[in-house]
């Protein structure tokens, strides 16, 4: 081979290599096309927003997906959306991490004879199903279709499928099925639904066990309404509960009632309206006081407030309807609503769409049919009965009596474990569909992300494919086409522009006032007294809802608002019980109910009434709950609990260093003025706070155009943690995992600090970098890695930082976070840092949740909140293009953007017209002001004037 041939060969080889290298890999170059064409003139690298709908819970909030070059970065509430108007809750913010959840199923999987899973392709899967269906037909077994709550067009398609494919569609199964509430409303008002509660319109709100801030109804909307009602019509909110919850600690007044004694309280209030219901418990003040444990004084006061109020509202729900007396409570509450003229604020025209959700009775029936071996092919989609149904139902083992079991799910659950075939479902950000937040409102679900690593399908597509295979007739190319057809039929042609622009369509239904109450059968009012002995309450979880969000690492990373525990399970124990049992935090308790036993570490929970123990619903999964025969709902109050101290102990990742603020006046509250009598209590800070300003030897720094500042309304703040989740997603804040949390190495840039200092209740304070004018952290940095920028931000230059950690030591607010390891995800497990167990480092593909506008921090550097400086820069550029300054409210940090109660106001304090400077002029409280740090974050105890963010000005449209 001579020289020329050699060169030819080399040339060819390299050329070939280059060409091969140029071939686009899947998912790198292909454009993502949403349902509707995007507006022209989009600049690559510019963020833009696509409207869709959140599918984390039935509330179905409107979502604007922040996109850059076709990659979804962050979910934000859709401004002006009838449900959530620009806000999202903690779970909504974390929804994007579900898209990249490492536990997602990537391909259809079939159970091998050995019991192991094998990945197959879709045609094989369909083949298996059809074969099974035919076999079942021959055997004369019934094919069943069980799904989770289904709203909108999908329901119709399922009906169609069941009809054509010969399936029986069963009532849907949800853990939070509002059985008692719906039953009561059916009995009293004749409408078995969860109405829309017009809280914004009332001036007195009494919630009985209803966790209106966490999971009940439409949490974001309710939070928003409560905040606005507080500001606009001085709402008084009283919360009565048998345990302790965020609501109890957030309401102006908290009434602790004995578990199961809610009906007594209600019949007392009914009596206050001069109404006595036959069969209701005695309404005499003395008797009620004995039953509920409330002193007569506060009972009378409550009745007084209720009668005095011009627009009162009473809502019963949550744990109070989850007990033996749930139905009675709900019925009496409905009666009270009727008697108190509150029906004007119950809108059944906008009631929560529970689709065809049945009750546990229906599930019990199914279980029995399975037992009898009637079932052939069983479809279980978007629900996990085996994991969440009462263990007495033994659903898991009975499922196996069906001849062929198919699960449609996004991850392996207790149910799909029992199935022969698992079909992976697309995430709602990958799929077309629609949602119904409440009657008369249709939310658009459209695909924004390409299916990056998963070979998944939407339920609609799967059903259409199956119909195609079975009946060989195909009307629709895809589920998307089917949807368009449906929408055209429903909303008429020309609906598209508005639908795609806003993400929702309103079908103006006449406001349906609730009709006059009907007499109720007495057995609905049957109340039984709670037996003595400790009771265990399964309470809804703000982080995990009914447990469905348990697998999301982000939600595990963020502390539980009451206990500040991040990872793992625990049982909350009252202080007094803990003393009796000689318990420390982390001591293991063995809880036994019937055959069910569970060992959980104890956490002492202040304000929890003695005798009551709480377990986070989302945390523990299948529990020995019972079916309430009256309502068919779940009895989530476990009585006859046997408690034993095992003697073992584990360390709980509790983020809070102390439940008390030790009278340091961190939270501006007269209570602390009294108790913290010492010099540096809040009072001291106030008296001399102004003095501290001018006590500087140095001249004030002068700012040219902007001095960014923030005001936080502590009355409005509900400690829901949505801001924390938003911050994690917006700023690529690392998730460090349980092991690091136990070492005190969480990375949150903003945190909610609970302080249990008032005699009853607690205070919560969001703590983030205060962007001090005289920042102690800045001066001590030897290399200028942190400095005060011309707009007042306490800037942190990551690539200049050498990691002395002096700044963090010297920060009085302890809001600076150090990268102890390289927390960035590792593609090769071998390269992962040897800290904790490997599962602690972020698993792929979670690394894709990363905002390209914010640099990832390497190991050995300090990081912190900078008021979302990347957003400020974005806004400044936009303003520059338009030749103006940044408008007030045009730009807000991620935390302020998502806050459901609009508690965070951000703006330019140099501009006297900006809302933030208006608030500052009113006089505010600044944490540790007496240190002379001159923070730019101001805390106020409401009300903030004109709290609505100028959504229209926000630079996304």
Partner 1 sequence: MQEYRFEDEHSYLHKLQELVDSGVPVRRIHAFSPIPVPAAEQILREKPTFVRVFAIAGALLGMVAGFALCIYTVLRYPLIVGGKPVVSILPFVVIAFELTILLGSLATFAGFLLNARLPYIPRIFNPDEYGTHFTILVEEER
Partner 2 sequence: MTEQAVEQHHRLERDILAAMSRPTKWYWVALGVSVAAFLMGMALWLYMILTGMGVAGINNPVGWGVFIVDFVFWVGIAHSGTLISAVLFLFRARFRNRFNRAAEAMTIFAVMTAGLFPLIHLGRVWFAYWLFPYPNNHLIWPNFKSPLVWDVFAVSTYLTVSAVFWYVGLIPDLAIARRHAKNRIQMWAYRVFSLGWVGSVQQWKHYNKLYGLLACFATPLVVSVHSVVSWDFAMSVIPGWHTTIFAPYFVAGAILSGCAMVITLMVPMRKFFRLEEIITVKHFEGIAQMLLLTSLIVTYSYVVEYAIAFYSGNTYEISHFVYRLLGADEPGHYRYAYWVMVACNSVLPLLLFFRRVRTSIPALFVLSLFVNVGMWLERFIIIVTSLARDFDPYAWGLYKPTIIEVGITIGSFGLFFTLFLLFCKALPVLAITEIKEEYT
Interface residue list for partner 2 (CB under 8 A): 655-658, 660-664, 666, 676, 678-681, 740, 743-746, 751, 753, 755, 767, 776, 779-784, 800-806, 808-810, 812-814, 816-822, 833-835, 858-862, 928, 931, 933
Q: What is the DSSP string of 195-233?
A: EEE-GGG-SEEEEEB--TTTTSS-HHHHHHHHHHHHHHH
Interaction partner, residue 698 (partner 1, partner 2, none; CB < 5-8 Å by kind): partner 1
- Are the C-beta atoms of residues 66 and 853 closer than 8 Å to each other? no
Both tokens of 513, joined, read: 């006032």
Interaction partner, residue 934 (partner 1, partner 2, none; CB < 5-8 Å by kind): partner 1
Question: In the complex with partner 1, which residue's Cβ is closer, 43 or 695?
Answer: 695
Query: Sign of the C-alpha dihedral, residues 486, 492, 498, 502?
Result: negative
Residue for token digits 């602390």?
A: 672
The number of helices, as runs of H, and strands, as runs of E, in the chain is 30, 37
What minimum distance in Å lies between the beta carbon of 794 and partner 1?
10
What minimum distance in Å lies between the beta carbon of 833 and partner 2?
6
Cis peptide before 943 (omega within 30 of 0): yes
Question: In the complex with partner 1, which residue's Cβ is closer, 29 or 698?
Answer: 698
What minimum distance in Å lies between the beta carbon of 924 and partner 2?
19
Q: Footprint of partner 1 on this chain (CB under 8 A)? A: 696, 698-701, 772-781, 784, 786-788, 934
Question: In the complex with partner 1, which residue's Cβ is closer, 485 or 700?
Answer: 700
- Are the C-beta atoms of residues 818 and 805 closer than 8 Å to each other? yes
Interaction partner, residue 701 (partner 1, partner 2, none; CB < 5-8 Å by kind): partner 1
Interaction partner, residue 774 (partner 2, partner 1, none; CB < 5-8 Å by kind): partner 1
Question: In the complex with partner 1, which residue's Cβ is closer, 39 or 699?
Answer: 699
Question: In the complex with partner 2, which residue's Cβ is closer, 136 or 724?
Answer: 724
- Are the C-beta atoms of residues 293 and 261 closer than 8 Å to each other? yes
What minimum distance in Å lies between the beta carbon of 565 and partner 2?
14
Question: In the complex with partner 1, which residue's Cβ is closer, 505 or 910?
Answer: 910
Interaction partner, residue 773 (partner 2, partner 1, none; CB < 5-8 Å by kind): partner 1
CA-based nearest residue to 587, from 596, 600, 606:
600
What minimum distance in Å lies between the beta carbon of 895 and partner 1?
25
What minimum distance in Å lies between the beta carbon of 853 and partner 1?
24
Question: In the complex with partner 1, which residue's Cβ is closer, 48 or 703?
Answer: 703
Question: In the complex with partner 2, which residue's Cβ is closer, 142 or 858?
Answer: 858
What minimum distance in Å lies between the beta carbon of 652 and partner 2?
12
Interaction partner, residue 803 (partner 1, partner 2, none; CB < 5-8 Å by kind): partner 2
What minimum distance in Å lies between the beta carbon of 871 and partner 1?
23
Question: In the complex with partner 2, which residue's Cβ is closer, 433 or 663?
Answer: 663
- Are the C-beta atoms of residues 32 and 67 closer than 8 Å to each other? no
Q: What is the DSSP string of 828-846?
A: SGGGS--SS-GGGSPPTTG
Interaction partner, residue 818 (partner 2, partner 1, none; CB < 5-8 Å by kind): partner 2
Question: In the complex with partner 2, which residue's Cβ is closer, 99 or 767?
Answer: 767
Helix (H) or strand (E) holding 745: none
What minimum distance in Å lies between the beta carbon of 781 and partner 1?
7
- Are the C-beta atoms of residues 409 and 105 closer than 8 Å to each other? yes
Interaction partner, residue 696 (partner 2, partner 1, none; CB < 5-8 Å by kind): partner 1
Axis crossing angle, helix 459-471 with helix 479-491, rounded to the nearest 10: 100
- Are the C-beta atoms of residues 434 and 445 closer than 8 Å to each other? yes
Give the Cα separation of 763 and 670 in Å (integer): 12
What minimum distance in Å lies between the beta carbon of 887 and partner 2?
34
What minimum distance in Å lies between the beta carbon of 902 and partner 2?
24
Residue for token digits 């937040």?
A: 437
Interaction partner, residue 699 (partner 1, partner 2, none; CB < 5-8 Å by kind): partner 1
Question: How would you classify residue 754: left for phi > 0, otherwise alpha for psi between -120 and 50, otherwise beta?
Answer: beta
Query: Sign of the C-alpha dihedral, residues 898, 200, 764, 91?
Result: negative
Interaction partner, residue 156 (partner 1, partner 2, none; CB < 5-8 Å by kind): none
- Are the C-beta atoms of residues 644 and 592 closer than 8 Å to each other? yes
What lies within 8 Å, CB to CB, of 463 at 6+ separation is 157, 158, 160, 161, 479
CA distances from 797 to 91, 734, 764, 787, 806 (A): 31, 17, 31, 8, 15
Interaction partner, residue 833 (partner 1, partner 2, none; CB < 5-8 Å by kind): partner 2
């Amino acid at each position: 081979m001579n020289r020329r041939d050699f060169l030819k060969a080399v040339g060819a080889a390299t050329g070939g290599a280059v060409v091969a290298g140029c071939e686009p890999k899947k998912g790198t170059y292909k454009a993502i096309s949403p349902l509707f064409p995007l507006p022209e003139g989009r600049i690559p690298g510019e963020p833009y927003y696509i409207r869709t709908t959140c599918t984390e819970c039935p509330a179905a909030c409107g979502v604007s997906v922040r996109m850059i070059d076709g990659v979804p970065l962050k979910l934000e509430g859709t401004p002006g959306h009838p449900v959530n108007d620009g806000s999202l809750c903690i779970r909504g913010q974390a929804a994007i991490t579900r898209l990249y959840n490492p536990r997602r199923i990537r391909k259809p999987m079939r159970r091998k004879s050995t019991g192991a899973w094998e990945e197959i392709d879709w045609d094989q899967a369909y083949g298996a199903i059809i074969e099974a269906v035919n076999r079942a037909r021959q055997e004369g077994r019934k094919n069943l279709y069980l799904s989770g709550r289904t709203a909108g067009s999908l329901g119709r398609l399922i009906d169609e499928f069941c009809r054509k494919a010969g399936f029986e569609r069963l009532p849907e199964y949800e853990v939070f099925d509002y059985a008692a509430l719906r039953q009561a409303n059916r009995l009293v008002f004749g409408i078995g639904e969860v109405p829309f509660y017009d809280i914004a319109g009332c001036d007195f709100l009494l919630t009985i066990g209803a966790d209106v801030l966490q999971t009940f109804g439409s949490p974001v909307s309710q939070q928003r309404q409560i905040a606005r009602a507080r500001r606009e019509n001085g709402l008084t909110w009283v919360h009565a509960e048998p345990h302790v919850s965020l609501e109890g600690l957030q309401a102006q007044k908290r009434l602790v009632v004995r578990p199961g004694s809610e009906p007594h309280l209600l019949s007392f209030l009914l009596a206050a309206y001069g109404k006595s219901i036959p069969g209701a418990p005695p309404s005499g003040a003395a008797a009620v006081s004995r039953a509920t444990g409330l002193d007569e004084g506060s009972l009378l006061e409550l009745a007084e407030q209720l009668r005095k109020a011009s627009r009162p509202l009473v809502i019963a729900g949550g744990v109070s309807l989850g007990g033996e007396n749930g139905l009675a409570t709900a019925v009496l509450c409905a009666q009270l609503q009727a008697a108190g003229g509150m029906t004007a604020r119950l809108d059944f025209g906008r009631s929560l769409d529970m689709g065809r959700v049945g009750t546990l009775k229906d599930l019990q029936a199914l279980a029995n049919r399975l037992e009898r071996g009637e079932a052939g092919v069983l479809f279980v989609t978007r629900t996990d009965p085996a994991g969440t149904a009462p263990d007495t139902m033994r659903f898991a083992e009975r499922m196996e009596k069906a001849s062929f079991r198919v699960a449609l799910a996004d991850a392996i659950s207790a149910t799909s474990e029992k199935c022969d075939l698992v079909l992976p479902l697309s995430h709602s950000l990958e799929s077309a569909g629609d949602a119904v937040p409440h009657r008369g409102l249709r939310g658009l679900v459209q695909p924004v992300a390409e299916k990056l690593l998963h070979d998944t399908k939407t339920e609609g597509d799967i059903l259409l494919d199956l119909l195609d295979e079975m009946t060989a007739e195909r009307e629709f190319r895809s589920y998307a086409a089917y949807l368009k057809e449906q929408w055209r039929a429903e909303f008429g042609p020309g609906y598209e522009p508005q639908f795609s622009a806003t993400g929702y369509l309103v079908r103006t239904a006449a406001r349906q006032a609730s009709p006059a109450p009907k007499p109720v059968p007495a057995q609905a009012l049957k109340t039984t007294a709670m037996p003595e002995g400790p009771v265990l309450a399964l309470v809804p979880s703000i982080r995990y809802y009914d447990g469905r969000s348990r697998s999301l690492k982000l939600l595990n990373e963020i502390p539980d608002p009451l206990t500040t525990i991040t990872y793992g399970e625990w049982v909350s124990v009252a202080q007094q019980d803990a003393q009796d049992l000689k318990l420390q935090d982390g001591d293991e308790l063995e809880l036994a109910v019937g055959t069910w036993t569970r060992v959980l570490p104890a956490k002492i929970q202040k304000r929890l009434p003695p005798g009551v123990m709480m377990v986070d619903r989302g945390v523990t999964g299948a529990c020995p709950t019972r079916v309430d025969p009256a309502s068919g709902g779940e009895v989530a109050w476990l009585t006859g609990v046997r408690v034993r101290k095992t003697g073992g102990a584990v360390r709980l990742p509790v983020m809070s260093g102390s439940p008390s603020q030790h009278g340091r006046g961190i939270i501006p509250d007269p209570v602390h003025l009294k108790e913290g009598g010492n010099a540096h209590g809040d009072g001291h800070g106030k008296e001399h706070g102004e003095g501290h300003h001018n006590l500087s030897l140095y001249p004030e720094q002068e700012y040219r155009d902007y001095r960014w500042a923030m005001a936080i309304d502590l009355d409005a703040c509900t400690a829901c943690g949505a801001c924390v989740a938003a911050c994690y997603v917006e700023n690529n804040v690392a998730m460090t995992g349980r092991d690091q949390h136990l070492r005190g190495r969480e990375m949150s840039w903003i945190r909610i600090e609970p302080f249990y200092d008032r005699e009853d209740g607690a205070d919560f304070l969001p703590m983030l970098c205060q962007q001090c004018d005289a920042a102690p952290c800045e001066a001590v940095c030897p290399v200028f890695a942190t400095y005060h920028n011309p707009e007042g931000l306490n800037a942190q230059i990551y690539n200049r930082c050498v990691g002395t950690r002096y700044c963090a030591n010297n920060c009085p607010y302890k809001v600076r976070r150090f990268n102890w390891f390289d927390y960035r995800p590792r593609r090769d497990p071998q390269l992962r840092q040897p800290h904790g167990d490997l599962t602690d480092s972020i698993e792929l593909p979670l690394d894709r949740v990363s905002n390209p506008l914010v640099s990832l921090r390497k190991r050995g550097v300090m990081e912190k909140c900078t008021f979302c400086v990347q957003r400020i820069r974005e806004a400044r550029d936009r303003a520059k293009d338009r030749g103006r300054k940044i408008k007030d409210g045009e730009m807000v940090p991620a935390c302020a953007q998502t806050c459901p109660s609009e508690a965070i106001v951000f703006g330019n304090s140099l501009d006297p017209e900006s809302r933030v400077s208006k608030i500052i002029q009113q006089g505010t409280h600044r944490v540790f002001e007496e240190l002379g740090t001159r923070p730019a974050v101001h805390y106020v105890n409401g009300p903030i004037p004109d709290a609505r963010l100028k959504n229209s000005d926000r630079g996304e449209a």
